[in-house]
Structure 1
Amino acid sequence: SAPVSLENGRLLYMSNCKICHGIEGRGDGLLASQLDPKPAVLADPQLTGDKFSKPFDNFQIINVGIANTAMVGWADQLSEKELWDLTYFIRAFSNENVKLPLLFAQGSTADSGKSRESSTQIIFQEILLLLDQSLKAYRDDRTREASESAFDAYLTYELVESPLITKRRDLGLKLESSFGRLQAEIKRKAPLDLVDKIGQNIAADLKEAQQILTQKIGFTGLFIQSFSIILREGFEAILIIAALITFLIKSRNRDKLKAIYTGVMIGIVASFLTAYILHSILDISMANQEIMEGVIMLVAVAVLFYVSYWLVSKIEAAKWQSYITGKMQQAVSTGSAFTLGLVAFLSVYREGFETVLFYKALYLYAGETTAGIIPGFFAGSAVLGVVYFLINSLGMRIPVKWFFVITSVFLYFMAFMFMGKGLHELQMGGAMSMTLADFAPEIPWMGMYPTWETFIGQMILVAAYAGALFYTFGIKQERAVHELKSEATQIQNNITAVHDLVEHISHHAKRCEIFLKDTRDHDLKELSEHLKEIDSKVHELFDQVLYFENRLSDEYDRLSQPIGAREKELH
């Protein structure tokens, strides 16, 4: 961890900002006259004064820039630490005594021992201070300031969220949800006693969290935490991957398994690279990390929904053995195999880089006693292997139709959950509004949160899936029945024509037989025998045509029944 440095902020300002904003932040730099719009006057208290603005406002502008102006974002050129140094320096233009944060932490914690405990205590002090500022501002009817302080408190809490979740997942997620609820209640100007109560509950939970994070962990504790991390984070991914692999095997597309394996391997490598880049090179802010996780989840929603519908659209066709033995192999085209590989990649990647960060936090908080982490990891991985084996074995015993149904529903549920969680991550990162919906339940494991945004997003997904099912088993089915009826009618007409032709040939053969019956010519008698043979074969052909005609008639009658009656007959 490192404190904010105004001197470093000054150096950054002089080398990067002075040319436009001027030495004293009055918007009178050398390039100011050439710019339209003019550079902002940073010495204006409305922009940087403590009374009218928050440090996070300035940080965000420096971080991402302002569209259609010369003010570019500096996130790609400065670390988060440098951005905060610069933020607090420019606030000195309009504040005699700049209020510096207690610390600025890079990563989750300090190294180990007393330093780690001290750093953790300082972080919690900062969270409680910001929380108190938020509640005081709300009591004074300064809603905007209260909301921003609550958001700053949450971002500071994110510095210890990962290690807390590794130790007490329920408490970590509860605090995240409570911070979101606090921000939402403040924005909708809820009664003061309700906001105070939420704040008090957060403060109590923070004190409990601080005690948990400052406790020393032994071998058993580290083993259990490491075991739970890999099992919890990998469980969803292993379910999806096992279902996809079983699907390809059952549909006789083993040659497409490479796409799944490739997606998994790329997902693992990308997870490590992303974790390294975000926290060692870009030093990405916690808010932006939340937004990134949300975007990844929403991409996964689109892919999972597509694959889920693709599978359910094959359920009807899966009733026919000819489809399984032939068309199913053609159905998994190169493009479809790529999509399945993409699902595997997203399943691993979505949890992967977060898992890496969890283990990083666990190592940091473990200090020198890290012996239980690796055994816990391998034990959890072994359990995931057993889960994969069981799903694969069970899936191979389930009839194809029902396997398609189960896999489709499971992938849709994952899309439903990711939709809620993805939108929630965007909300917690400040990229999406948060409007409370008191009627909506809060079920985190299903991705359900009591906000209108997450509720509407998931309801759109429900409506889309219902519409897809109606199209597949309603409109599309009736259209297929109509086409089959037309084809059946045409085939019947063709059979009738063949029937007439057979009758015609048979008639002429009999006439020839009568004509040649009394002749003594040896050649003519031999010809007569040939004609009899032709007549016999023609009758065999006629019998076969008649058989198929009856079968077609039965099928035609079946297709004329309502869809529900046909389904009942098939079962």
Structure 2
Amino acid sequence: MVLSSFSVSASPEQQTKIKQIAQLAEYVGVDYVAAVGNGKVLDADEYQEMTEFSNVIISQATSLTSNTNEFDIVKTHAQTLHSIISNKGSVEEVRAASSVLRESLLKFMPQLSLPNSLLPIEQTKALFSANCSMCHGPSGKGDGPLAKNLTPEPTNFTNEERATNRSLMGLFDAVSNGIEDTPMVAFTQFNEQQRWSLAFYVGSLAFQSVEQPKNVEQNITASQIVNLNPAQLSVGLNDTQKQYVQWLRGNPEHLFSAKKDPISVTRTQLLAAQQAHAKGNYSQASDLSISAYLDGFELVENNLNAYDENLRKSIEVQLMDLRKTFKEEKDTAIVNEKVTAALAQLAKASNMLNETKLTDSALLSASLVILLREGLEALLVVIALMTVLIKTKRQDALKYVHVGWIAALIAGGLTWAAAQTLIEISGTSREVMEGVGAMLAAVILLYVGVWMHSKTSAKQWQAYIQNNINKRLESGTLWGLAGLSFIAVYREVFETVLFYQSLLTQSTTEQYSSIAMGFAIGVAILAVITWVLVKYSIKLPVAKFFAITTYLLFLLSFVLMGKAVTALQEADIVGIATLPINIDLVWLGIKSTWQGVTAQLIVIAIFGFYIFKGKNQK
């Protein structure tokens, strides 16, 4: 589970300084209440510590340098915090300045990942008892046997005011790296899951008595709950929503066990993008809007099609447009207007998906369409390769094609299993994989199609047989066939499993049989298509077979090229320039962008050139 998509422009040395600044800023925001009150020093030792920490913050911030002066905002906020502490400002002023400083640092921090699950609570408690209770006490109240001899005293994790101003990221950093000039040491002997489990556990102690509020939209992401403290998350919220924030801190397992609603993910990421844009972080806003589509809405497109295909197309166009808007538009009013419009459409889609349960027949149909749509392209490529080898009397090479598609099925299953249990594959990574795979397959198919077109006459075919019948295919060529078979099948398998997983989240356990039935029917149809193609393609005369297969391969190349460009556009690798008219022909890979249409026109131009050249040579 990736916590953030912030762009890291800081060097490793700078990132170390940034993390220390963030940690100290949060520490100051939490402990300043014991040092100063009403403009007077309450505890000289505490105030001295706050002053020393603010001096370290200033020193570290000043040492941050870059050619683009991107750290100037950090230095400004660090100076503001230092000045407030020097002038014995109020607790509210210090906490506000500390919060602003930490937020300005987030985009420079490296990506962190949560484990897919925390340790069982009993294991976490045992870990805390064995390693933390001597200082922090058996219940985390800061009253362990060694507490009285430590300066500063260990943290009381059950103190709600303190916990409200402490982020889980800060707690994780403290467990991982310790806190300089304090008795808190780094627990480097623990793995990441153990350290995250401890951070979530101690962060929950002050809120475990909070009851879960009812009828609250659950749109707080793991990134927000980890990077921001409850005080920051509660800004602008009503009492019920604030209670939900506290309940979530007290019950963090909800973040790991709850199913992700793709529409909620889309909504959350759009709102986060809107906030980033308002702060001038346009690139970050664009990244979040990309995630809104790829990690959210794309996963329910097939389901929504069963209700309202036009609504699906409308939302897709809005989200693609918002990506460009977040990156290029500086007027927040325009951005807010577009976000509001998109949220309204998403609410409509959510109501359709949640209030009207998909019927068994709709699930069966959706399951069938997914398998046929994704499986047919891969099947046609594999069948074309197999029949070409049979026609060229290269049956010895068939095993390489079989190795390719069988390996793709296995790899697709393993990849998905890994994504479910070990890592989280982002939507962007998925689209890059699919885009590159589709483009590579399109180019190879185009090449094979040109080669086959050159053999469409009996005379040319006989000459080819005469020259090559006694030659074995070279090993490089054989493994190239296996590679093409693998690429064609793997990208479709992975996408198919992804869509089926989304379909399962939108259905009840009792309806799984309908999805399985749709899948089984799809497999049966693909099997029949395979049998028909193999049987009758082999019986065709050589010249006619090559002519038909040539057109088929060019068509597949055309479709895959369009899908490749679309996938790379969704991953923000290829730009998006929309056509004046809206076209969405999924089966042909056609979308309303100049880049996609141009790439497909190039395929047509190459195809036309060789058709024209072949006719002139006859």
Unaligned residue ranges in structure 2 (runs of 5+): 5-11, 26-55, 79-96, 114-190, 197-220
**Equivalence map 1:38-117=2 (5 Å):** 43=74, 58=107, 62=111
Deviation of 1:258 after TM superposition, in Å, equals 0.8
Q: Would you say 1:180 and 2:320 are equivalent positions?
A: yes
Instruction: Judge conservation of contact 1:253–1:329 (CA < 8 Å) in 2.
Output: no
Aligned partner of 1:393 in structure 2 is 535
Instruction: Judge conservation of contact 2:453–2:547 (CA < 8 Å) in 1.
Output: yes
| Rg comparison, structure with higher value | 1
Instruction: Judge conservation of contact 1:222–1:373 (CA < 8 Å) in 2.
Output: yes
In 2, the alpha carbon distance for the partners of 1:163 and 1:143 equals 30
Aligned partner of 2:522 in structure 1 is 380
Aligned partner of 1:487 in structure 2 is none
In 1, the alpha carbon distance for the partners of 2:369 and 2:323 equals 31
In 1, the alpha carbon distance for the partners of 2:264 and 2:546 equals 53
- More moved, 38-47 vs 244-253: 38-47
Q: Would you say 1:302 and 2:439 are equivalent positions?
A: no
Aligned partner of 2:353 in structure 1 is 212
Mark the CA change 1:156 to 1:41 in structure 2 (over 3 Å): closer, same or farther: same
Q: For each residue in 1:101-143, what CA deviation from the matched residue of structure 2 results, as whole angstroms up to 9, or x when unmatched?
A: 9999x9xx997xxx76xx63xx6456446657878999xxx79
In 2, the alpha carbon distance for the partners of 1:78 and 1:424 equals 37
In 2, the alpha carbon distance for the partners of 1:338 and 1:193 equals 53
In 1, the alpha carbon distance for the partners of 2:106 and 2:348 equals 28
In 1, the alpha carbon distance for the partners of 2:15 and 2:339 equals 44
Of all paired residues, the percent bearing the same amino acid is 24
Deviation of 1:315 after TM superposition, in Å, equals 3.1
Aligned partner of 1:263 in structure 2 is 404
Higher share in helix: 1
**Equivalence map 1:537-552=2 (5 Å):** none
**Equivalence map 1:247-262=2 (5 Å):** 247-262=388-403
Aligned partner of 2:7 in structure 1 is none
Mark the CA change 1:414 to 1:173 in structure 2 (over 3 Å): closer, same or farther: farther
Aligned partner of 1:368 in structure 2 is 509
Aligned partner of 2:424 in structure 1 is 283
Aligned partner of 1:419 in structure 2 is 561
Aligned partner of 1:165 in structure 2 is 302
Equivalent of 1:272 in 387, 391, 413: 413
Aligned partner of 1:338 in structure 2 is 479
Instruction: Judge conservation of contact 1:440–1:455 (CA < 8 Å) in 2.
Output: no
Aligned partner of 2:165 in structure 1 is none
Q: For each residue in 1:411-447, what CA deviation from the matched residue of structure 2 results, as whole angstroms up to 9, or x when unmatched?
A: 2222222222222222222233222332684433322
Aligned partner of 1:520 in structure 2 is none
Aligned partner of 1:243 in structure 2 is 384
Q: For each residue in 1:215-261, what CA deviation from the matched residue of structure 2 results, as whole angstroms up to 9, or x when unmatched?
A: 43454443333222222221111122222222222222222111111
In 2, the alpha carbon distance for the partners of 1:99 and 1:398 equals 72
In 2, the alpha carbon distance for the partners of 1:197 and 1:437 equals 20
In 1, the alpha carbon distance for the partners of 2:592 and 2:109 equals 27
How many matched pairs?
437
Question: TM-score by structure 2 length?
Answer: 0.57
Aligned partner of 1:509 in structure 2 is none
Instruction: Judge conservation of contact 1:21–1:40 (CA < 8 Å) in 2.
Output: no
Instruction: Judge conservation of contact 2:62–2:75 (CA < 8 Å) in 1.
Output: no
Deviation of 1:399 after TM superposition, in Å, equals 2.3
Mark the CA change 1:363 to 1:408 in structure 2 (over 3 Å): closer, same or farther: same
In 2, the alpha carbon distance for the partners of 1:159 and 1:409 equals 37
In 1, the alpha carbon distance for the partners of 2:233 and 2:334 equals 35
Deviation of 1:346 after TM superposition, in Å, equals 1.3
In 2, the alpha carbon distance for the partners of 1:165 and 1:309 equals 35
Residue identity in the other structure for 1:298: M
Q: Would you say 1:457 and 2:599 are equivalent positions?
A: yes
Unaligned residue ranges in structure 1 (runs of 5+): 6-14, 65-76, 474-562
Mark the CA change 1:463 to 1:136 in structure 2 (over 3 Å): closer, same or farther: same
Q: Would you say 1:21 and 2:18 are equivalent positions?
A: yes
**Equivalence map 1:193-208=2 (5 Å):** 200=341, 203-204=344-345, 206-208=347-349
Mark the CA change 1:204 to 1:445 in structure 2 (over 3 Å): closer, same or farther: same
Deviation of 1:339 after TM superposition, in Å, equals 2.6
Deviation of 1:401 after TM superposition, in Å, equals 1.8
Mark the CA change 1:436 to 1:59 in structure 2 (over 3 Å): closer, same or farther: farther
**Equivalence map 1:428-443=2 (5 Å):** 428-438=570-580, 441-443=583-585
In 2, the alpha carbon distance for the partners of 1:44 and 1:29 equals 7
Instruction: Judge conservation of contact 1:222–1:372 (CA < 8 Å) in 2.
Output: yes
In 2, the alpha carbon distance for the partners of 1:57 and 1:256 equals 54
In 1, the alpha carbon distance for the partners of 2:437 and 2:77 equals 37
Residue identity in the other structure for 1:388: T
Aligned partner of 2:186 in structure 1 is none
Residue identity in the other structure for 2:550: S
Residue identity in the other structure for 2:367: S
Instruction: Judge conservation of contact 1:291–1:426 (CA < 8 Å) in 2.
Output: yes
Q: Would you say 1:155 and 2:284 are equivalent positions?
A: no
Question: TM-score by structure 1 length?
Answer: 0.61
In 2, the alpha carbon distance for the partners of 1:328 and 1:49 equals 77
Aligned partner of 1:232 in structure 2 is 373
Deviation of 1:448 after TM superposition, in Å, equals 2.4
Q: CA RMSD in A?
A: 5.2
Deviation of 1:362 after TM superposition, in Å, equals 2.7
In 2, the alpha carbon distance for the partners of 1:329 and 1:350 equals 35
In 2, the alpha carbon distance for the partners of 1:52 and 1:433 equals 34
Work out which structure has the larger RCO, using CA pairs closer than 8 Å and 6 or more positions apart in sequence. 1
